[in-house]
Structure 1
Amino acid sequence: MTAPAWVEHVIWWHVYPLGFVGAFPADTPPEPGEHRLRRIAGWFDHAIELGASGIALGPIFASRTHGYDTTDHYRIDPRLGDDDDFDHLITEARRRGLRVLLDGVFNHVGFEFDADARWLRGRPGRFHTFEGHGDLLTLNHDNPDVVDYVADVMAHWLRRGADGWRLDAAYAVPQSFWATVLPRVRRRHPEAWFVGELIHGDYASAVREAGFDSVTQYELWKAIWSGLNDGNFFELDHALQRHSDFVTSFAPLTFIGNHDVTRIASRLQRPEHLAHALVILMTVGGVPSIYAGDEFGYQGIKEERFGGDDAVRPEFGTPPAQLDSRGLEIWSLHQYLIGMRRRHPWLHRASTSALRLENRQYLYRTSHGDQSLVVALNIDDKNMEVRLDSGSAEVIAGSGAPPPESVDSVSVEPHGWRVLRPVHDNR
């Protein structure tokens, strides 16, 4: 199975709609007539300026609270608007060449979901719930009617203009269910892309058995911030070895932030290491995703309590965002590194190998075929001296002063970084 060709060039800008437009949490829920979903389209030019080529939306279907307690998969959440607002969103995205990814919650539903009891796992009064949340009832994935329903919902919104689906809590759904549903949808929409939400486990096996095109790369996400915080590049290298194995069969969805985790600017112990995290994201194989606000250096800590996600799901006003000097610096860094990624589209299938590995200094090659880049990451308090055994290279990105055009060695300042392109490589 091969993912659609367009995915090789996509970089997602990820939005959590209900929070983004101030619809949840809200003291007074908005009415459909407020057409708040259209506010997201007002940020599409920002996404283009950032360098993104797709919009990955969180849940937009009818629900009571946070969107993951769906009550009607065929209806736009009234707090966001209606079908016309969805059509407007798609039209504005298409006008700019942006792809649109939807968030499908098909493991569980809200307790107001209108369905025969046979659609739910368990029995009345004893229905199974998702991870102990009493208001999230688990669907009975062995029921053929549920198979038909999910396949039809997915095809319905693809027909309306979406390009693919993020499959929420895919790890909790039997892989045989996806293996039945996804081929049915693909027959009608062969260019659609499907990414399963997996936290841990055998990613490659899940892709193979369930039929996903991709899965969320939480292993790499954790190794990036943890390795930087702990001064332990051995952890990152181990994750990148596994990541390179995954890339041989599928391109994982990579990220350093999303709607479910503490923002990267809050997670990192040293602010200057945000650049290192972004450099890693933009130089390894996969399909990168930027969570809205991370490109400005927004802070936000996820807490394990009721309302604990609110800090990482804030409302956005009307663009452009008002930034201080640090925000402007982070914004410019995102623009440059995303631009570098798009100028080297082969990075989608790149694998990495360590050239030098120490706790706080890491030199790796990222390559595909005869094309490669060399990345130097220094989180030490002393310089990192790098001599290129393969000859000279161009320094195409890095911290500090503008580098010379071509070098055979480079000195990376404390807590600095460089990206180099060997001169013999094709561009």
Structure 2
Amino acid sequence: MEFNGVYHQASDNYCYPLNEDELIINLKTGYDVKEVNIILGDPFAAGILGGGESWNGNKEPIIFKKKLKNQIWWTTTVKPEYKRLKYYFELFTEDEHWFYFEDGFVSGEQMELEGRSRQCFVFPWMNPCDIPVTPKWVNETVWYQIFPDRFCNGDHSIDPENVVPWRNHGKVKNEECFGGDLAGIIQKLDYLKDLGITGLYLTPINESPSNHKYDTTDYTKIDPNFGDEETFQKLVSEAHARGMRVMLDGVFNHCGYYFAPWQDVLKKGPESEYYDWFMINEWPLDFKGGAAKKKQFYTFAFFDNMPKLNTSNPKVRKYFIDICANWVENYKIDGLRLDVANEVSHLFCKELHLRLKQINPDIYILGEIWHNALPWLRGDEFDAVMNYPLGESIKDFWIDKSLTNQDFEYTINRCYTSYMQQTNDVLFNLLDSHDTKRLRSDVKNLDEYFAQLAVLFAMPGSPCIYYGTEIAMEGSFDPDCRRCMPWDEIEAGKYKERIEMVSKLIHLRASEPLLKSRNFHFPDDFSDHPRVIQFRKMGWVDTYVEVIINCSGEDVEVPKDGEILFERHCIDSTLLQNGILIRRISR
């Protein structure tokens, strides 16, 4: 047996409570393992531990599994009668039989030895307050990310002094301000509602000298070029009236150059009461040649004008958590996204979670983390993270034509075995953002463009599109991905067909419960067509939604079956060209 391919731990995404009654248990093995049983029972079923008891659990088969590139992910759900569990595994290959315990592998012969220790896996107790609980409404939400300065200018009276004329096309620069504001977003809420959007994610709106606002000057104020507190409260109220949630962007890893405590430090040095609010290694700072690169102080990346905040400092934590509490209480926001979340202290995130959930247990706390984020997703910090690994996995399949549908299956399964199921339900799924090249600039073929969006809207989690995605807006890397929304052309009907296509996918996501389901698997009906993606979103009894996407360049025959929910380039329901087929099938 491939012993190195087998792994389990009685914690994190391998063993966790889904709710107060159900415990999820997952095991990785190599492909040589053909059958797995779990032997389980209450730890005290045979008496008090260490009392000479002879413990024997009940045997149950593990039948559900997902394929990873080099391993199999076996999964089962159990209901411990007394909220605790002791267990081990029985593994079968074609010609071997082993038992897997916390301390390793035991043969059948060794299992018969009297007195031999068995160090079983143990989940001690399913404490309700330790069970990760995520807000259910997020799974129902389709997000729309807005970069306010480039979305819509609704109030010219508050335009910045250096405002430049709105530009429907062409590259943009970091130093350019176009005058987009909160009033402009309010004006377009009906457009977004018609599109099917039910959640707005706004990049920072607090006072800042830049157009992107990630260099915050004052966290207590709305930037005057965006509006004021009353305008934002109106935006939230109007959005709520249309069934839309609102999520703000919080920048707590670093601040802007003009943040008052930082200015106090620059003026007074070590004598400033705010000196330990920042991470300063050497004083005075020599900004010539880059103080951050000389390691005199820490910053966001190596930008000297974005000093890093010391979230290990209790005063810093209290200051910014109070800020967030005010946003929830005063503005009634529904979600908070943390910028550069993996560099903020875990203690800050835990205290923030506790405070905000006390105010609104249903608030959505999202972290910007681009890599595996399990340490932040154990139920006491973030509800979810931005699911960049999923987006990159989807795009890679179209970029790398050597990848097969089996490779696609492996990489999607990897994304959804990394976390707990309740986390998967609310992962923030996206294909592009203000930090990346726009999808359209990577995907020149519209068939491929809509195909990737179809995958996005069929995945577990909470999908988000970046403003302009519905018209296939182009844009290269930052700052070019932050172009102005071409409202004149949109209102003239230039992008009508594209908007309708995206709107159909959004409304289908909203109306078909199975598309939001966490349960999916990949059949192998198209094993002879390696560039045809097929997966099924499973429901109860015998109903499922099937997604088939042909990326092969050749027409593919599909069985005429079920109710068609969405199609693109499917002829008579039986011949799929380079396109999409989504259907509901009942057996």
TM class, shorter-chain normalised? 0.7 to 0.9
Deviates more, 1:130-139 or 1:242-251: 242-251
Q: Which amino acid letter does the alignment assign opposite residue 390 of structure 2?
A: L
CA distance in 1, matches of 2:345, 2:364: 19
Q: Which amino acid letter does the alignment assign opposite residue 484 of structure 2?
A: E
Which segments of 5 or more consecutive residues in structure 1 lack a partner in the other structure?
303-307, 405-409
Computing the radius of gyration over CA atoms, which structure comes out larger, 1 or 2? 2
Q: Does 1:321 align with 2:490?
A: yes
Instruction: Work out whether residues 217 and 259 of structure 2, in 8 Å CA contact, stay in contact via their aligned partners in 1.
Output: yes
1:67–1:289 distance in 2 versus 1, CA, 3 Å: same
Q: Does 1:56 align with 2:201?
A: yes
Q: What does residue range 241-320 of structure 1 map to in structure 2 within 5 Å?
A: 241-245=413-417, 246=419, 248-250=421-423, 251-302=426-477, 308-309=478-479, 311-316=480-485
1:153–1:422 distance in 2 versus 1, CA, 3 Å: same
Instruction: Work out whether residues 143 and 201 of structure 2, in 8 Å CA contact, stay in contact via their aligned partners in 1.
Output: yes
**TM-score, normalised relative to structure 2:** 0.65
Deviates more, 1:149-158 or 1:344-353: 344-353
The alignment partner of 2:304 has SS state of strand
CA distance in 1, matches of 2:152, 2:208: 16
Q: Which amino acid letter does the alignment assign opposite residue 355 of structure 1?
A: P
Q: What's the counterpart of residue 38 of structure 1?
A: 183
CA distance in 2, matches of 1:320, 1:422: 40
Instruction: Work out whether residues 71 and 114 of structure 1, in 8 Å CA contact, stay in contact via their aligned partners in 2.
Output: yes
1:8–1:46 distance in 2 versus 1, CA, 3 Å: same
Q: Which amino acid letter does the alignment assign opposite residue 6 of structure 1?
A: W
CA distance in 2, matches of 1:96, 1:422: 33
Q: What's the counterpart of residue 423 of structure 1?
A: 586
Q: What's the counterpart of residue 498 of structure 2?
A: 330
Larger helix proportion of the pair: 1
Q: What's the counterpart of residue 260 of structure 2?
A: 114
Q: Which amino acid letter does the alignment assign opposite residue 412 of structure 2?
A: L
Q: Does 1:380 align with 2:552?
A: yes
Instruction: Work out whether residues 18 and 60 of structure 1, in 8 Å CA contact, stay in contact via their aligned partners in 2.
Output: no
Shift of 1:324: 5.9
1:372–1:95 distance in 2 versus 1, CA, 3 Å: same
Q: Does 1:148 align with 2:318?
A: yes
CA distance in 1, matches of 2:486, 2:546: 39
Which segments of 5 or more consecutive residues in structure 2 lack a partner in the other structure?
1-131, 165-178, 262-273, 286-295
Instruction: Work out whether residues 257 and 307 of structure 2, in 8 Å CA contact, stay in contact via their aligned partners in 1.
Output: yes
Q: Which amino acid letter does the alignment assign opposite residue 338 of structure 1?
A: I
Deviates more, 1:90-99 or 1:315-324: 315-324
1:319–1:88 distance in 2 versus 1, CA, 3 Å: farther
| Pairwise CA RMSD | 2.5
Shift of 1:178: 0.7
Shift of 1:367: 2.5
The alignment partner of 1:70 has SS state of coil
Instruction: Work out whether residues 160 and 225 of structure 2, in 8 Å CA contact, stay in contact via their aligned partners in 1.
Output: no
Instruction: Work out whether residues 100 and 163 of structure 1, in 8 Å CA contact, stay in contact via their aligned partners in 2.
Output: yes
- Count of matched residue positions in the alignment of Structure 1 and Structure 2: 404
1:396–1:349 distance in 2 versus 1, CA, 3 Å: closer
Q: What's the counterpart of residue 344 of structure 1?
A: 512
Q: What's the counterpart of residue 4 of structure 1?
A: 135
**Identity across aligned pairs (percent)?**
27
CA distance in 2, matches of 1:268, 1:63: 34
Deviations 1:85-115 (A, max 9, x none): 1122122112212111101111111121122
The alignment partner of 2:183 has SS state of helix
Q: Does 1:28 align with 2:162?
A: yes
CA distance in 1, matches of 2:513, 2:223: 36
Deviations 1:218-268 (A, max 9, x none): 011111112112222444322310233236131210012211111111111
The alignment partner of 1:208 has SS state of coil
**TM-score, normalised relative to structure 1:** 0.87
1:80–1:379 distance in 2 versus 1, CA, 3 Å: same
Which of these residues, 145, 159, 162, is aligned with residue 14 of structure 1? 145
